Amino acid sequence: MTKLSVNINKIAVIRNSRGGNVPDVLKAATDIERFGAEGITVHPRPDGRHIRYDDVRAIKRAIATELNVEGNPIESFTDLVLEVVPAQVTLVPDAHDAITSNCGWNTREHFEFLRGRAELFHSRGIRVSIFLNPDPGMVEYAARLGADRVELYTEAYARNYSADREAAIADYVVTAEEARRCGLGLNAGHDLSLENMRYFRERIPWTDEMSIGHALISDALYYGLENTVQMYLRELR
């Protein structure tokens, strides 16, 4: 079964735009858990423009389901993850000024750095996922450096889905098959939505987890948060 992990960064964006605590990010996390999501994803950045480090600490204390913390494993991020001890850390090569995640790791070029970080996180019992473009050549090095899973960066799939979904999914299928051959778990995330997530799941049914934020929170403006979480869960079932 593919699990749904809801990224709540966009809720924090709205809160931060006015200051104060409306909407309440912590309440959103516990509500989304109560509505049936199997995980909560957060992606804190050093400038605190959406999810903040203190949010991560509070959410970890408040939820019982899996917490997935995404980010570039710079020193401050690494220290936070080792302190909080989420179920999973997803390593993403974000530049400090990136608006959103926009590429996967070159695991060959950054092999030693990523291996060192994976060893640190494993020392606290944290599952390690590496954010990758749909490139099977990067999967072998992810396995060799000690990753438990890879997360496929699905922006290109989502962008090309409407024009030709068979072509859009092709590289992802090959990369996912390589991950399975290497004994790695498989996650997927970025621009997945009610329109395109079911086909991805049908073609790559061994996907362990989909991390979805922007589309789900946007849909919640029209359908309500509880109903939207249920709609996404139905697409995965």
Per-residue pLDDT tens for 75-133? 999 999 999 999 999 999 986 666 666 679 999 999 999 999 999 999 999 999 999 99
Q: What is the mean pLDDT of residues 135-162?
A: 98
Residue 5 in 3-state DSSP? strand
**pLDDT given for residue 96 in this prediction:** 65
DSSP assignment string, 55-98 = HHHHHHHH-SSEEEEEE---HHHHHHHHHH--SEEEE----TT-
Q: What is the mean pLDDT of residues 130-152?
A: 98
> Residue 93 sits in a domain of what CATH number?
3.20.20.70
Per-residue pLDDT tens for 161-218? 999 999 999 999 999 999 999 999 999 999 999 999 999 999 999 999 999 999 999 9
Q: Are 213 and 9 in contact (CB under 8 A)?
A: yes
As a whole number of angstroms, the distance between CA 81 and CA 92 comes to: 14
136 CB neighbour count, 10 Å cutoff: 16
Please count the structural domains in the chain.
1
| Position 25 pLDDT exceeds 70 | yes
Range of the domain at 53: 3-236
Alpha helices in 111-162 (DSSP H): 111-122, 136-144, 155-160
Position of tokens 């926009």? Answer: 102
Q: Which two tokens stand for residue 178?
A: 């390589």
Q: Which two tokens stand for residue 27?
A: 């309440």
Of 99, 167, 100, 98, residue with least CA distance to 134: 167
pTM listed for this prediction: 0.95
Q: Are 217 and 191 in contact (CB under 8 A)?
A: no
Least confident of 1-5, 26-30, 45-49, 95-99: 95-99
Continuous segment of H or E residues that includes residue 219 = helix 214-223
| Position 71 pLDDT exceeds 80 | yes
Per-residue pLDDT tens for 33-55? 999 999 999 999 988 889 999 99
Active site residue ranges: 43, 70, 190
| Position 32 pLDDT exceeds 80 | yes
What percentage of the chain's residues is helix, strand, coil (to nearest 5)? Answer: 50, 15, 35
As a whole number of angstroms, the distance between CA 196 and CA 39 comes to: 20
